[in-house]
Chains A and B, each alone.
Chain A
Amino acid sequence: MNGAYLDNASATPVRKEVLDVMLPYFNEHFANPSNVYDIGSEIKQVVEEQRAKVANLINAKPEEIIFTSSGAEANNMAIKGVAFARQKKGKHIIVSSIEHHSVLNSVRFLERLDFEVTFLPVDEHGLIDPARLSKAIRPETILVSIMHANNEIGTIEPISELAANCKENGIIFHTDGVASVGNTQVDVNELNVDLLSLSGPALGAPKGIGALFFNKGVRLMPLIHGGIQENGRRAGTENVPGIVGLGTAAELVSRDLPGTENHCRKLRNRLVNGILDRVEKVTYTGHPDKRLPGHASFCFEAIEGEALIFMLAQAGIYTNTGSACASKALKTSPVLGAIGIRADLAQGSTVFTINGNNTEKEIDYVLEKLPPIVDRLRELSPIWGKEIPEYEKDVCAH
């Protein structure tokens, strides 16, 4: 059957070359890296080699990498770790209003502990204005967290400019690189950040592994207390197969990335132009140029996203409505709200994420199947072709 998997931001298959390297670390090389005898210290050595590979991918030093269980944990560790370590200096934190839930819910948790949080608005493309950040900075600001690239609209933020602003004021700057690392070139020195989170699956590594880059000198209160793994910053015996997977994947990505990026951009442009040519009343969301190379996001008028996702899935085309959690919880996306997309239009949000495995044939298949599916759902829709009256937000029952 024909099909196209264009939901690579949700999950990617573990690369074959990665899995092959990982497998012996489940049984053959099983020793605990904390053990001092030979087979333990050999594993410790392997873990340190992987740390260097991950560091190399983002132009960091090996001792600046902490392995975590996910991108979400890395975000939690950055936000809560810095907040708890610096709370005597101040309790004010700034984040963008379009952060991932692992950042937003971390700062909301901190609000309950008397931290104050400023949520910076974005423009219609999802960009943060550096001048606005400057204005939000106070003497008691200890941390700013602004994502490198947004997972729902693909927009890439002007991180180096934003971070420079904070460095001058002695404020720690964190960026969530989960959507960007693996999909576009990321250099922590160029970005000028103190902390950066990344996630394994985005690189073709397995789920259950991520990492946090931290600038030497940034104090982080551990989230997981116990032994002194990760240099006393995160307890728990290392996920050695996962770490080997992440290191191997990072090495492959470092090697392949410029090519993959071009490939993805070419396919993305073909998809975007094709959809805009073939379908009327559709909004291409996010920034037209400053965006992830394999990312295309749309809002189709008069259609609800879930219905579209399911109908596309029946044709073997896998996409997403945006953030998986938001679509399950039946909430309108806060990201689309933040860029000023009308609430009824936001219901028709669909996100395509392309990676190196996708082909032109898949894109053409989508361009063939998508327009009739959109037509069919619009035929069903009582609001298609009608003026949408101004609905009040609070009439929603949920």
Chain B
Amino acid sequence: MKFIKDQKSDESLDLVCRMCPMHLLEPGDKLKCMKKGQVLEVLTDYDGALEDIPDWCKKCGHEFIGMDEDDDYYRFYIKKKK
């Protein structure tokens, strides 16, 4: 896993407390409305996201930039590639 600090983002999605697989569905919808090259931040407390989000980025052709950890949730950063 790639850990990063102070990553800037254009949009943010708060999915803390939401059930699986909302951490994949909502970013999918959100990225559709974003421009190529923009960065999306995803907040989630779901441990499964540690594997899911990088895999999902690969499958969908987006770039997984890395992640950061907060007190009670994770921050994932995705760059829209297509």
Interface residues of A (CB under 8 A from B): 81, 84-85, 88, 217, 219-222, 225-228, 231-233, 235
Interface residues of B (CB under 8 A from A): 14-22, 25, 71-72
**Which residue from B16, B20, B22, B71 sits with its C-beta under 8 Å from A219?**
B16
Q: Are the CB atoms of A231 and B18 closer together than 8 Å?
A: yes
Q: Report if A222-B14 is in contact (Cβ < 8 Å); known contacts: A88-B71, A228-B25, A232-B22.
A: no
Nearest B residue (CB) for A85: B17
Question: B19 — which chain A residues lie within 8 A by C-beta?
Answer: 222, 225-228, 232-233, 235
Q: Report if A228-B21 is in contact (Cβ < 8 Å); known contacts: A217-B14, A219-B16.
A: yes
Complex alpha-carbon distance, A227 and B18, angstroms: 10
**Which 10 interchain pairs have the tightest Cβ spacing?**
A232-B22, A232-B18, A232-B19, A219-B17, A221-B17, A88-B72, A85-B17, A219-B16, A228-B19, A228-B22
Output the least CB separation between A220 and chain B (Å): 6
Complex alpha-carbon distance, A222 and B22, angstroms: 13
Complex alpha-carbon distance, A84 and B72, angstroms: 11
Complex alpha-carbon distance, A226 and B22, angstroms: 12
Complex alpha-carbon distance, A122 and B19, angstroms: 39
Q: Is the interface of A mostly helix, strand, loop or mixed?
A: loop
Output the least CB separation between A132 and chain B (Å): 31
Complex alpha-carbon distance, A81 and B16, angstroms: 12
Complex alpha-carbon distance, A235 and B20, angstroms: 11
Question: B71 — which chain A residues lie within 8 A by C-beta?
Answer: 88
Question: B22 — which chain A residues lie within 8 A by C-beta?
Answer: 228, 231-232
Complex alpha-carbon distance, A226 and B18, angstroms: 11
Nearest A residue (CB) for B46: A232
Name the residue in A217, A227, A231 with the highest tally of chain B Cβ atoms < 10 Å from its Cβ: A231
Complex alpha-carbon distance, A233 and B71, angstroms: 22
A-B contact pairs, 10 of them (CB 8 A): A219-B16, A219-B17, A220-B17, A221-B17, A225-B19, A228-B19, A228-B20, A233-B18, A233-B19, A235-B19
Name the residue in A219, A222, A235 with the highest tally of chain B Cβ atoms < 10 Å from its Cβ: A219
Output the least CB separation between B74 and chain A (Å): 14
Complex alpha-carbon distance, A88 and B22, angstroms: 23
Complex alpha-carbon distance, A38 and B14, angstroms: 30
Complex alpha-carbon distance, A222 and B19, angstroms: 8
Nearest A residue (CB) for B22: A232
